[in-house]
Structure 1
């Protein structure tokens, strides 16, 4: 007879279920604990979780890191240990609503057999249940209710701003004491950045921290897969299109364009990002971002998305979960409106003020008026830091737009981005670097085969993508010979381009 299938509870990991229940029971002085083996674990990008029940009706969460190809298990263990320490620190030093950690072990060397974290269940429901993304067919939360949530997030951000450390890094626990060690921020860990040879802290200054992030940005551009990142052709955003049909049409055109020549991982695209990284290094060295206190560094939640904010039926925040990748950071990065509904989404302008007002209202009356004014000024300019952090972490679909904001903050209208890139592309330094990076490009035969497969029965779309590539001068950007140039400026594919092409295609179809 074939072996009986394993219970669903072991979908993501093989562990000792009985030992887990025994340990949980012992943590509650022997209170009986059960765990349904037929439950399918909840799963996120980096962890999976199951629920335990006690005889008095209390439920706990049991979490463990995934075995993922994009994140080694040893990194998952470090993240688990740091998150547990961060949650315990927050419970001990603030009233920010976070889960309670009852026990954890970042090693597999225990009776349960895997790294684990016992924690309380978050009360309420995730904000994602009611806060819909743009273009969703279901009704979203009213603006007034969103403002209520943002005001509370402002209050929580004030509390985080008072949890300060002398270094920038992530929290770890050792013999019931807390210590800042290496920085496990998203910008240092995600997109396979964990494998880069960059400084990882702890950092004694903002300058060291930003220099490390710029190094990660530039090295990712040079040697790692760039996925959807094409500097001069940002991924279309749903917010820029009137209908889902127009947005999907723009996505098709974008995919066509980047498929020709395999643009995203090409040497041309990589060099654009390297030039941007060099410019960012110069900007962060010369421009002081707004902050009240540059000497110490506040703790920050790394991903205040609607999935990680729990609310009750009246939209009062009941819990903030998922503190993996948390670290102390420069104050200017904390004092910015969070991206909602997801980490990389820029929130609507009308919701900035409730967040700022919530932060200011939380400041005690004993704080000097000059400090309060300084906080308000920093908050009002916080989107510069928000955009810089998203750009350096490559947690965006619109890198060029983020870069333009940071560039104009530093240079004003005195120096054009297009001119800077055109001049840089023609410089001997970048032409030499381009020739070196070009050695890692895919063979032309492989690129042409992939194009042929992709554009099968799509002749018109192929023609448009090829013509657009020609007009962009994609393959003549980093060359010494300037005699055959079609363009004298920098090509950037904006939403207007995709809308114009769609209109032309529609007019063509309607021609008699």
Structure 2
């Protein structure tokens, strides 16, 4: 990675070869702009980009267009899928997942207009953050598009022998190269030990990025995963990025989204999302039959219905680990 930082380009985009065999920077084939059917979206600036801000605004734009036009499953912004690392044991995690599924199934929340609006507003806020993520540098470096453990080969002494899957490699901002790869998966940020090891490689290679460059790299890590929808923890990632960018308490995020949604532009966007769309499917959890053949409503269905009611009444409602662990504790206390 340190060696990649020594090769500079004057534009952001992917490498192409002309008829004479020379390479040039052309349209950006970054996964953020192409994967998950994003290549079918119209009106997206795909480069090449002369400035870092153009590139990041394009990523925010394609994120918003995805929210408007493409399937969002399984992404639910204010009801992130439970992460196994957030729970004390596997049983607790599985219960949280089942309750998340029951909650999201009522009213088809994932593909609902409300969820799409939340993601669109997130895209607007990502666009607002761009000035805080860019640098004055006008030289760009080659970045691997999808670096993970499956793309890294090592020998018996654990030395890296090669890295594969460079097909969508692009010239990108230096902050993207300096972002520690999510080798432990895309759900959680890299562990401190991994960040230290990754950054030490740049020092060994002769590159000594300053504190501001590392700070931008930290922000870029969250921005890129949000823009690409790499994780099902969209709210958690957004909250962390919001804290890093604005250096403030993020407890007001739900209120910020609500205020945006109530503005004239937000109401117009909601009307656009609703226009011509079929009614939201209500795939409610299956009810149970008792020994006499009578249909009953399980406790889990009742909980999902109550949560749906509360989410509609409370503009600060978030269905995350705190909620699922609290419900688990309450039901255990009641022996239900």
TM superposition score normalised by structure 1: 0.60
**CA–CA separation in structure 2 for the residues paired with 1:509 and 1:441:** 43
2:175 to 316, 332, 338: 332
**Equivalent residue number for residue 309 of structure 2:** 470
Task: Tell me if the contact between 1:340 and 1:346 (Cα under 8 Å) persists in the aligned partners.
Answer: no
Shift of residue 496 of structure 1? Answer: 1.3
Question: Where does structure 2 lack aligned partners over 5 or more consecutive residues?
Answer: 289-296
**Secondary structure class of the residue paired with 1:158:** coil
2:141 maps to 1:295: no
2:318 maps to 1:492: yes
Shift of residue 404 of structure 1? Answer: 1.4
2:205 to 362, 365, 375: 362
Shift of residue 441 of structure 1? Answer: 4.2
**CA–CA separation in structure 1 for the residues paired with 2:127 and 2:164:** 33
Shift of residue 380 of structure 1? Answer: 5.2
**Equivalent residue number for residue 98 of structure 2:** 252
2:35 maps to 1:190: yes
Report the count of equivalent residues.
325
**CA–CA separation in structure 2 for the residues paired with 1:472 and 1:184:** 39
Q: Which of structures 1 and 2 has the larger relative contact order (alpha carbons within 8 angstroms, sep 6+)?
A: 2
Shift of residue 409 of structure 1? Answer: 2.6
**CA–CA separation in structure 1 for the residues paired with 2:209 and 2:172:** 21
Shift of residue 443 of structure 1? Answer: 2.2
**Equivalent residue number for residue 169 of structure 1:** 13
**CA–CA separation in structure 1 for the residues paired with 2:173 and 2:24:** 18
**Equivalent residue number for residue 319 of structure 1:** 162
Shift of residue 494 of structure 1? Answer: 1.9
**CA–CA separation in structure 2 for the residues paired with 1:456 and 1:211:** 46
Task: Tell me if the contact between 1:187 and 1:393 (Cα under 8 Å) persists in the aligned partners.
Answer: yes
**Equivalent residue number for residue 424 of structure 1:** 260
Q: Structure 1 417/501 Cα, relative in aligned 2: closer, same or farther at 3 Å?
A: same
1:502 to 323, 328, 336: 328
**CA–CA separation in structure 1 for the residues paired with 2:227 and 2:209:** 28
Task: Tell me if the contact between 1:211 and 1:281 (Cα under 8 Å) persists in the aligned partners.
Answer: yes
**CA–CA separation in structure 2 for the residues paired with 1:507 and 1:471:** 22
Q: Alpha-carbon deviations, 1:39-89, whole Å to 9, x = none?
A: xxxxxxxxxxxxxxxxxxxxxxxxxxxxxxxxxxxxxxxxxxxxxxxxxxx
**Secondary structure class of the residue paired with 1:170:** strand
**CA–CA separation in structure 1 for the residues paired with 2:14 and 2:185:** 22
**CA–CA separation in structure 2 for the residues paired with 1:288 and 1:185:** 18
**Equivalent residue number for residue 413 of structure 1:** 248
- Within-5 A mapping of 1:93-108: none
Greater helix share, structure number: 2
**Secondary structure class of the residue paired with 1:164:** coil
**Secondary structure class of the residue paired with 2:238:** helix
TM superposition score normalised by structure 2: 0.90
Task: Tell me if the contact between 2:83 and 2:187 (Cα under 8 Å) persists in the aligned partners.
Answer: no
**CA–CA separation in structure 2 for the residues paired with 1:414 and 1:238:** 26
Shift of residue 354 of structure 1? Answer: 1.4
1:275 to 116, 121, 128: 121
Shift of residue 356 of structure 1? Answer: 1.1
Shift of residue 217 of structure 1? Answer: 0.5
**CA–CA separation in structure 2 for the residues paired with 1:309 and 1:401:** 28
**CA–CA separation in structure 1 for the residues paired with 2:155 and 2:267:** 57
- Within-5 A mapping of 1:388-403: 388-403=223-238
**Equivalent residue number for residue 437 of structure 1:** 273
**Equivalent residue number for residue 23 of structure 2:** 178
Question: Where does structure 1 lack aligned partners over 5 or more consecutive residues?
Answer: 1-156, 365-371, 474-485
**CA–CA separation in structure 2 for the residues paired with 1:390 and 1:230:** 15
Task: Tell me if the contact between 1:356 and 1:380 (Cα under 8 Å) persists in the aligned partners.
Answer: no
**Secondary structure class of the residue paired with 2:245:** helix
**Equivalent residue number for residue 78 of structure 2:** 232
The alignment's C-alpha RMSD in Å is 2.0
